[in-house]
Chains A and B, each alone.
Chain A
Amino acid sequence: AQSVTQPDIHITVSEGASLELRCNYSYGATPYLFWYVQSPGQGLQLLLKYFSGDTLVQGIKGFEAEFKRSQSSFNLRKPSVHWSDAAEYFCAVAKGTGGFKTIFGAGTRLFVKA
């Protein structure tokens, strides 16, 4: 069965420091991978997605993610965190052909300290 694991329930990072959020997936075929961010009281917003090609994907708000097939990982990174990045981050994998279903991880809550 397809699944997404985010090993860290929460992470605290100092403002200006670098960030890496981990995501591991289990899927038998070529995965379609996503990272979403959810701020308090807001809906989810797509940060970036990977379908094929270059394994380093650039997204919005200065985020990037790297797909590593050998490690079944799709980690999210940002070189310098801002206080406004504090939110919940969800990794997701899409399965199916034609109409697809998105499977979300449990999320990682990011705290940013001054």
Chain B
Amino acid sequence: EAGVVQSPRYKIIEKKQPVAFWCNPISGHNTLYWYRQNLGQGPELLIRYENEEAVDDSQLPKDRFSAERLKGVDSTLKIQPAELGDSAVYLCASSLGQGFADTQYFGPGTRLTVL
């Protein structure tokens, strides 16, 4: 069974440029998460989807970040415009449901460097 797929794996951009990350969750997983992991820190949740509905986006900086999960399958996270402080690893995860017992499966992440 394929795991969570993310692309690109690495991205280097100039500040003020836009950038987008793509995630394809494990087939059949209804819940999808986007996390940001700063250097030397644990992941922090940005947004959580139940099918196509964003049910928790309280940590998403909405002035520059946006996300979508059309058709409740794959998802895109966008930053426009990027700032130096956005340099981080962006992780996508998926789970069957949203309960405590539902294991989250993580993708390898996209490492973003903003110059």
Contacts and interface: CB of A to CB of B under 8 A. Distances in A.
Interface of A: 4, 9, 32, 41-46, 49, 51, 90, 92, 94, 98-102, 104-107
B79 interface: no
A101 B56 contact: yes
Interface of B: 3-4, 40-45, 48, 50, 55-56, 91, 93, 98-101, 103-109
Contacts of A41: 108
Given A98-B98, A99-B48, A100-B98, A44 B91 contact: yes
Contact of B42 (A49, A51, A92): A92
A92 B44 CA distance: 11
A64 to B, nearest CB: 18
Contact of A99 (B4, B42, B50, B106): B50
A4 B44 CA distance: 12
Contacts of B43: 44, 90, 104
Nearest to B33: A102
A56 to B, nearest CB: 19
A43 B91 contact: yes
Contacts of B4: 43
A4 to B, nearest CB: 8
B41 A42 contact: no
B56 A106 contact: no
